[in-house]
Amino acid sequence: MTATKLTTSRRSVMQGGLGVAALAALPATMLPGTVFAQANQAIPTQLVPQKQEGIIMDTITTADGARIFFKDWGPKAAQAVMFHHGWPLSADDWDNQMLYFLAKGYRVIAHDRRGHGRSTQTYSGNEMDTYAADVAALVKALDLKNVIHVGHSTGGGEVAHYVARAEKGRVAKAVLIGAVPPVMVKSDKNPGGLPIEVFDGFRAAHVGNRAQFFRDVASGPFYGYNRPGAEPSQGVIDNWWRQGMMGGTKAQYDCIKAFSETDFTDDLKKIDVPVLIMHGDDDQIVPIADSALLAIKLVQKGTLKVYKGLGHGMATVNADIINEDLLAYFKA
């Protein structure tokens, strides 16, 4: 691919209204139904914690041998909140929220999705059924109950897919922030979605020059830094790029299909716990009209909160606002 073609692909991707996505899902390449069923039953999981003054940072090993990195901070008896990151990031994207809610007395947990961050760079299993199975395995290993699950972008899809299948008593509430459900790609059933060509552009840019593509996304539409009057933070951009480059390119490539083509409609309908849907009306990555405004009609106990003028990365650049609203919801 020539430099000219790559530049054109990146430009068409940005104009397509995505930028990067955030969620995950797709037809399982490793017996999806079986994988999840095992995770909810007797999945052989190894947990080897390294304790440092009450803080645990370690990994579990799933049934197929993938090692999933996680952080687990705070009192074990406290209300647990589990954070699910977007594509192509890691648990580090929740650093602000982890510290904030830890200080408020919560037990905070975040993991690197398989293929991302410090978890195994898996060749297979990079789809929503296995992502949800990995969450179930981690929840089981830590023996978590009545957890509040918070997911951003692709992580929001992961939350929906997991919560819809979770064992009774494992989940208390769910939060979807700038999340991809119900489904992103355009089809006859989803006429308002983004054309498949947008995601093909993602794949082309990812293969052509992943490092540059990640720079373009972070410095542009993800945080709304391409808007008039925006004041980009180089630190935020660099941290996004750092997290993306930590992950495995094969897993991230596969995840593009997962977050864009997985249909979470049935998942949303099945969820019977309270769900808070938070979305910026200037989200250039996951446009609100075909995500949050549709998702709220599908959940049984949903609350929609729209943030005027805020974009996809609002949990980072507008953390003060988002954290206060999350805290109020947790306490309600």
Going by C-alpha positions, the residue among 218, 177, 171, 20 that lies closest to residue 84 is: 177
Helix, strand, coil percentages (3-state) for the chain, rounded to 5, are 40, 15, 40
Length of the chain in terms of residues written: 332
Burial 85-98 (b: 16+ CB within 10 A, else e): bbbbbbbbbbeebb
User: Does the active-site annotation cover 152?
Assistant: no
**CB proximity list for 92: less than 8 A, separation 6 or greater:** 117, 239, 243
DSSP string covering 119-159:
S---SS--SHHHHHHHHHHHHHHHT--SEEEEEETHHHHHH
CA–CA distance, 319 with 97 (Å, rounded to integer): 8
Of 119, 283, 290, 291, which residue is the catalytic one?
283
Catalytic residue among 84, 85, 279, 312: 312
Distance of CA 202 to the CA centre of its chain: 17
Q: What does the alpha-carbon distance between residue 111 and residue 84 come to, in Å, rounded to a whole number?
A: 7
Where do runs of H (alpha helix) occur along the chain? 3-15, 32-40, 95-103, 128-142, 154-163, 196-219, 234-246, 249-261, 265-270, 292-295, 314-317, 319-331
- Angle formed by the axes of helices 95-103 and 319-331, to 10°? 50
The active-site residue, picked from 9, 153, 219, 291, is 153
- The answer to whether 283 is a known catalytic residue is yes
Bridge pairing between strands 171-177 and 275-280:
parallel
Residue 57's DSSP bridge partners are 71
Closest CA to 213 of 318, 87, 25: 87
Q: Active-site residue 219, yes or no?
A: no
Catalytic residues: 153, 283, 312
